[in-house]
Amino acid sequence: MAQRVLVCDAVDGILPKILKDNGMEVNYKPEVTQDELLRIAKQYDTLVVRSRTKVTAEIIDSAKDCKIIARVGVGLDNIDQEAAKLKGIRVINAAEGAMNAVAELVMSLMLSLARHVPRADRTMREGVWEKKGLKGTELKGKYLGIVGLGNIGQRLGRLARAFNMNIIGYDVVPINPEFAQEVGLIKTDLGTLLQSSDYVSLHVPLLESTRYMINAEKLSLMKKTACLINTSRGGIIDEAALYTALKNGDLGGAALDVFETEPPDNTPLSNLDNVVMTPHLGAQTVEAQKLAAHVIAEKLVQIERGVI
Ligand code: NAD
């Protein structure tokens, strides 16, 4: 019998095409609701999701024939991995798919903060030619602290090096020595990284151990002129503490692509001029979406053939 695959979120067309070409039965339902999914999950062997669909323990429990949950992306926090493990369901992702897209977004956010690009755009639209108040700084020679040197952290380090930034890094596992040598990495602990960096960019997964990793105490270690960038997951920064630090002038600026609640509900951060916000755009490029869809489709075909 053909593998029955339910695609629950919008994915690049290459994924259903590859699966169908390999004899799988694909139902593409990018708008499926949680309630509907709960009713129909039992009809499928594989569930494919991005981040919109939450694969809860209840859904996993109802998906009697499910053997694989595939995430077209990196983070697995919308999938109850414990529940999947208990049911013997394999969870796969496309770990490398988004690394360049997210790293390039971080560069654009750092440049936006350094050169006040969003503010300049806003004032221009208001008919104001505000040159004096928008004197910026350069990234060249500044210290970039990267927290979490996995796929995205390393890609960012390489891009930032091309801007002649100095790279400081902290991770809980040994850091790739080739990468460290290539960028002249200064390895250190989290406290020293926060104290020494002009920009701090977070690239860790959301786990119990990383929740509120950047809280009021950690923010107080940072330079008053420093900027904090989060493109990893909301919940890693305590947003209320961040707001207080920015409002009191204890921190230079922040750029956020991810939030504790998405979309954020009336966040006071949007009232601050030194904050740049984007709506979880990290992996939102044509190239990243295509790559992740391709990687997942190939993995599913290989699993079907018993290769991996
Ligand atoms: P990765 O697994 O390759 O790297 C994560 C690194 O964080 C690992 O090296 C790990 O050892 C390290 N780490 C874990 N806990 C840590 C801790 N307490 N202190 C320091 N380091 C720690 O992951 P990645 O692909 O580089 O992704 C990083 C983050 O980016 C994830 O949270 C992912 O969900 C997020 N992400 C966001 C977007 C977006 O659209 N904004 C897109 C893709 C990924």
In the reported structure, the alpha carbon of residue 95 is separated from the centroid of ligand 1 by a whole-number distance in angstroms of 10
Mean pLDDT, range 263-283, rounded to an integer = 96
Could you tell me if the CB of 95 is within 6 A of ligand 1?
A: yes
Q: Are 302 and 308 in contact (CB under 8 A)?
A: yes
pLDDT at position 96 is 84
Mark whether 4 is an active-site residue.
no
CB 169 less than 6 A from any atom of ligand 1: no
DSSP 66: -
The pLDDT assigned to 95 comes to 87
Of the candidates 280, 287, 298, 305, the residue annotated as catalytic is 280
79 pocket-lining for ligand 1 (C-beta < 6 Å): no
Q: Which residues does 195 contact at the CB level (< 8 Å), separation at least 6?
A: 221, 222, 223
Mean per-residue pLDDT of the chain: 97
pLDDT at 273: 95
The protein residue with its alpha carbon nearest to ligand 1, atom 40, reads 282
- Reported as a single tens digit per residue, the pLDDT across 35-72 is 999 999 999 999 999 999 999 999 999 999 999 999 99
pTM: 0.92
pLDDT at residue 250 above 90?
A: yes
Largest Cα–Cα separation, the chain: 69
Does residue 174 line the site of ligand 1, with CB under 6 A?
A: no
Tokens representing 169 are 């890094």
| Phi and psi, residue 229, nearest 5° | -125, 130
Q: What are phi and psi of 288, to 5 degrees?
A: -65, -40
Give the ligand 1 atom nearest the CA of 154.
26
204-236 tens-digit pLDDT: 999 999 999 999 999 999 999 999 999 999 999
Share of the chain above pLDDT 90, in %: 97
Q: Say if residue 221 is exposed, middle or buried (CB neighbours under 10 Å; 0-12, 13-18, 19+).
A: middle
H-helix segments, the chain: 14-21, 34-40, 57-62, 81-86, 99-115, 117-125, 151-162, 177-183, 190-196, 216-219, 239-247, 286-304
Percent of the chain beyond pLDDT 70?
A: 100
Of 148, 147, 75, 144, whose CA–CA distance to 107 is shortest? Answer: 144
pLDDT in tens, 98-146: 999 999 999 999 999 999 999 999 999 999 999 999 999 999 999 999 9
Q: What is the residue-wise DSSP string for 167-179?
A: EEEE-SS---HHH
Nearest Cα to Cα of residue 263 among 231, 234, 288: 234
